[in-house]
Structure formats: C-alpha cells, structure tokens
A and B are shown apart, each in its own frame.
Chain A
Amino acid sequence: MHVPQDDPQDDPDRRPHADPGLQPERTTLAWNRTVLALVVAGLLLLRWVPGHGWFPLVLTLLTLLTALVIAGGQARRYRRSSRGIRDGRVEADVVGVLGTTAAVALLGALALVVVVALPLR
C-alpha cells in the first residue's frame, strides 16, 4: 500500500486527511484482506487439479488475476478515499465493487460446474 511520506504538502493528492476514524486506511485494508482471501481460495483450487483435470487451473488463474487487479489499484484507491474525506465527497467505486462481485460470482459458478460436470476420476 502506498502511504504518503515525503513532502506531502507538494501534491494535493498526497496531503494527509484529517479523519480520526481512519476511514481510508480501514477501507484499503479491507480490500487487502479480500486480496488475501482470493489468493487463498485460488491456491486451494490447485488441490482440484489431481482429481478433476486441468480445468480448475482456469479458476485459479481467474482468482489470482482478480487479486492482482485489486492489489494494483490500492494506491489509487487510498488516494481516492483520502481526497474524498478531505473534500467531503467520495465517488462510490462502482467498477471496483461490481467487478469484484462479478469475478467472485463467476468463480462460484465455475466451481459448481467442476463439482457437477467433472466428477473425480
């Protein structure tokens, strides 16, 4: 996570916020925990490869890709919420939330396909 340190007054995006509730930190950490949960689920799916064939690898790839995209946006996400707290308005992260929803739902659907249509050999 990118935490502003050096000469924060230079850049309006990097000036520290004044929220005693630490909302930007808590929100960024919540996304971080989600990344970790995705990585755990993705690696656990590797356990399906010996029994169910190569298809679970697609699920692992999808999971790790989602985690990577979220992790890559963390610095931008922190700046967005930090600036939002300062300005008194933060734009709801429609793309991030609905994209994560779609990815996790797709993951669940594909896992169901594996259990139902690709039984253990």
Chain B
Amino acid sequence: MTSSSDGPPGGDAPPGSNARPGSDAPPGATTPPARSPRSARILGGGTEPDPRFTLANERTFLAWIRTALALLAGGVALEAFTADTFAEPVRSGLAVVLLLLSLMLAVAAGIRWLAVERAMRRQAPLPLSLLVPVLAGGAALVAAAFLAVALGGA
C-alpha cells in the first residue's frame, strides 16, 4: 500500500519501501519510550507524528528565527550607519522598534514551534499564527515612519 494521497510532491515511495510508516500508523499506536523525560514533559502526551511533519515544523521555526535575525541586523545597521541621515531620537526610535520586533518574533517562533508540535502529537488542528499580523503590522509601521521622516526632511 502506498500513501500517494498524503505524500509530498515528489512521488510515491517505491514498492517495498517502508519510508513513511508514520502516516500509516493507527491513531492509537504506542510511542516507543526512547524520548528523554525532559522532552516528554515539554512536548506533552499524544503519539509521535509523521517525522516529515516534525522536520517541517523545525524548518518553519528556523525560517522565523532567521526573520528575527534579519530584523535584528536591520536595527543594528540603522543605529550604526544612519547617524548622518536621521536625527537622534528618530534613529534610536526606529532601531528600538526593529529590535523589539525581532525579540517578539524570536520568542513567538519558539512558542509556536512548541504549540504546533503539541497539536500534531494530539492530532489536533494546528494553532493560528499571531506571528504574521505582528510582523506585517510592525514592518508597515517602520516603513511608514521611514517615509514620513524622508518626506519631512526633503
């Protein structure tokens, strides 16, 4: 039996390959006790999800962390390189907004990774992300402030 309906783009497993038993496991399958006690407590109960989903969740977390790092780099660069462009309170203020946004995204990325991992283990619907509106609102705010300062200075 191949699991072509829920496989990733890229095709079915070759016949005889048992590469994705996770998607075929019955909901009540027991979890082998290889997990460390600390991880088990943090992740809560439930059954082990398909390993591909666990890895996809990890990559999504990393994408958010890199977004946070890019915002951090933006804040650092703004503070370091725009001394001649922006007056003092504006420059520090924009840098603080970017750094705050970076901090919020980093923390929220970790929280969301955990929430998704827990939901997958209980076969529950995945939680909605607050990250997207926060990032969109923050980026729009910074861009608007930039524009106002640039137009005001011209």
* Interface of A toward B, CB cutoff 8 Å: 17-21, 23-24, 26-27, 30-31, 33-34, 37-38, 40-41, 44-45, 47-48, 51, 81, 84-95, 97-98, 100-102, 104-105, 107-109, 111-112, 115-116, 119-120
Contacts and interface: CB of A to CB of B under 8 A. Distances in A.
Contacts of A38: 69
A106 to B, nearest CB: 9
Given A17-B19, A24-B55, A90-B55, 10 more contacts: A20-B10, A23-B55, A84-B54, A85-B52, A100-B62, A105-B107, A109-B103, A111-B76, A112-B100, A115-B95
Contacts of A37: 65-66, 69-70, 73
Given A17-B19, A48-B80, A81-B51, A112 B66 contact: no
Contacts, number: 162
A98 B7 CA distance: 29
A104 B39 contact: no
A100 B142 CA distance: 26
B11 interface: yes
A86 B51 CA distance: 9
A48 to B, nearest CB: 6
A38 to B, nearest CB: 6
Provide the main secondary structure of the chain A interface.
helix
Contacts of A100: 62, 65, 110
B51 A84 contact: yes
Contacts of B110: 97-98, 100-102, 105
22 contacts: A18-B14, A19-B52, A23-B51, A27-B59, A33-B62, A37-B73, A38-B69, A44-B73, A48-B79, A48-B80, A84-B55, A88-B22, A89-B22, A92-B58, A97-B58, A100-B62, A101-B106, A104-B68, A108-B100, A115-B75, A115-B96, A116-B96
A38 B70 CA distance: 9
A90 B51 CA distance: 5
Nearest to A81: B55
B1 interface: no
Interface stretch (B30-38, B122-130, B133-141, B145-153): B30-38
B95 A30 contact: no
Nearest to A83: B51
